[in-house]
Amino acid sequence: MLSIKDLFVEVEGMEILKGINLVVKPGEIHAIMGPNGSGKSTLANVLAGKEEYTVTHGEVTYLGEDLLDMAPEERAQKGLFLSFQYPVEIPGVPMVNFLKTAVNEHRRSRGEKELTAGEFLKFMRTKMEMVDMHAQLTNRSVNEGFSGGEKKKNEIFQMALLEPRLAILDETDSGLDIDALKTVAHGVNALRNSGNATIVVTHYQRLLDYIVPDHVHVLYGGKIVKSAGKELAFELEEKGYDWIKKENGE
């Protein structure tokens, strides 16, 4: 589904990613862990198409196509979803308008009929239940006045509406209390099937108690320095990142 080959990325002249290789297959959950500043969010953002990131080398193939050649909206329409670490507040853009436009842009790109307002609201209600989204939030502007937890929940709610093939969750667990964490994880698990895949980017192991990964990768200094099964996450939780840093010559 996703194949990253020797990816180098610069932000404002600073080299952040220094040769990433990663293959994600349908049905898999990959966790990308690592200390702060190791390049985790950069990887998430570059996959979503953020423009400040310059790819200096390497290639990314998504569903057999060159991902880096696509505009952010095209990537999204083809099923790539980024759950933002810091979802943006957009005053004046009503949630319902935003969600309906997003869903219909996806449908249009697949050659499906756009949903009417009535159809959309019905569809939205079923998804709201799934992630325990309150109606009062959908009556506001996008993320406006949402608490940290509500913003993260809103990301998973959008994910439920857009039904992505590849979801990238960027620090979705940060700022969440344990109940919110469970709700979010429940939403992610409910959306899983054999045809889609998830990349969980996280600093801590605790989200992985609820979203169990098939593969765990440690990103350090812009490279994946270790890959293993889910047991690696426990090891990191226990020993911290210092041993990784030592192993890599710090």
> For binding to other proteins (CB under 8 A), which residues are involved?
48-51, 71-73, 75-77, 82, 84, 87-93, 97-98, 101-102, 105-106, 109, 141-142, 158, 162
CA distance 19 to 31: 18
The answer to whether the beta carbons of residues 30 and 230 sit under 8 Å apart is no
Query: Nearer to other proteins by C-beta: 11 or 225?
Result: 11
* Minimum distance from residue 81 beta carbon to other proteins (Å): 8
* Minimum distance from residue 97 beta carbon to other proteins (Å): 7
**Pairing of the two strands 80-83 and 166-170:** parallel
The two counts, helices (H) then strands (E), for the chain are 9, 12
Query: Nearer to other proteins by C-beta: 47 or 207?
Result: 47
Contacts of 241 (CB under 8 A, 6+ apart): 34, 35, 218, 220
* Minimum distance from residue 106 beta carbon to other proteins (Å): 5
Query: Nearer to other proteins by C-beta: 15 or 105?
Result: 105
Query: Nearer to other proteins by C-beta: 17 or 44?
Result: 44
* Minimum distance from residue 101 beta carbon to other proteins (Å): 6
Query: Nearer to other proteins by C-beta: 97 or 193?
Result: 97
Conformation bin of residue 178: beta by default, left when phi > 0, alpha when psi is -120 to 50: alpha
Structure tokens at 153: 């929940």
* Minimum distance from residue 226 beta carbon to other proteins (Å): 29
Q: Where are the alpha helices (DSSP H) in the chain?
A: 40-48, 72-77, 95-109, 117-131, 135-138, 148-162, 178-190, 231-239, 242-247
Query: Nearer to other proteins by C-beta: 98 or 210?
Result: 98
CA distance 16 to 39: 6
CA distance 175 to 168: 17
Query: Nearer to other proteins by C-beta: 158 or 202?
Result: 158
* Minimum distance from residue 77 beta carbon to other proteins (Å): 5
Beta bridge partners of 82: 168
Q: Residues of 170-204 as b/e, b for ≥16 C-beta within 10 angstroms?
A: bbbbeebeeebbebbbbbbeebeeeebbbbbbbbe
* Minimum distance from residue 218 beta carbon to other proteins (Å): 26
